[in-house]
């Protein structure tokens, strides 16, 4: 029984290893073809790209109920899971904060992922989205808090 489990585990590891090799081969091919045509290829860490809500930043496995469907358990934002991942990848490369915290720049000017644990990446993402979880008061709310009436005119002007 134990041998059988070990065999199964080895078999699955072999499949995983082959899948990783194939993926690396595809990445190298894409990079070569793109650079042959003058297109610079940037690589970003993949952790949480399909589990992070691009609207509120909530990260959870529960956001992705199926392979195809994403629905944020915090704000309710819904979209195709692949589209969500693409949005998150784009954000990591276009946001100054995420670009600098998640990547290094190689000698050719390409972004390459920093060696970070998935926990560090999650902490960086949560820190990035933290300001979004604080509700920014509207102009009217600020004025009301300051006890200033919004009736218009030249009130208070002498
Ligand atoms: Zn959300």
Cα–ligand 1 centroid distance for 60 (angstroms):
10
Cα–ligand 1 centroid distance for 92 (angstroms):
17
Cα–ligand 1 centroid distance for 150 (angstroms):
33
Cα–ligand 1 centroid distance for 63 (angstroms):
8
Chunked into runs of 10 residues, the chain (158 residues) has average pLDDT values of 58 81 89 91 93 95 94 96 96 95 94 95 95 65 65 49
Cα–ligand 1 centroid distance for 113 (angstroms):
25
End-to-end, the C-alpha distance of the chain in Å comes to 92
Read off the pLDDT of residues 8-48 as tens digits, 9 standing for 90 and up.
Answer: 667 777 878 888 899 889 888 988 999 899 998 899 999 99
pLDDT at 89: 95
Cα–ligand 1 centroid distance for 68 (angstroms):
17
Cα–ligand 1 centroid distance for 48 (angstroms):
13
pLDDT at 4: 53
């Amino acid at each position: 029984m134990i041998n059988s489990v070990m065999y199964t585990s080895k078999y699955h590891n072999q499949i995983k290893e082959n899948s990783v090799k194939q993926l690396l081969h595809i990445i190298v091919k894409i990079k070569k073809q793109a650079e042959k045509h003058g297109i610079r290829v940037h690589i970003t860490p993949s952790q949480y790209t399909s589990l992070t809500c691009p609207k509120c930043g909530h990260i959870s496995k529960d956001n992705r109920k199926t392979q195809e469907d994403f629905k944020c358990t915090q704000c309710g934002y819904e979209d195709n899971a692949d589209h969500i991942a693409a949005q998150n990848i784009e954000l990591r490369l276009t946001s100054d904060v995420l670009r600098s915290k998640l990547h290094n720049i190689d000698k050719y000017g390409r972004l390459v992922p920093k060696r970070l644990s998935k926990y560090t990446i999650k902490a960086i993402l949560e820190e990035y989205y933290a300001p979004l979880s604080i509700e920014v008061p509207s102009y009217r709310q600020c004025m009301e808090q300051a006890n200033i009436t919004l009736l218009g005119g030249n009130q208070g002007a002498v």
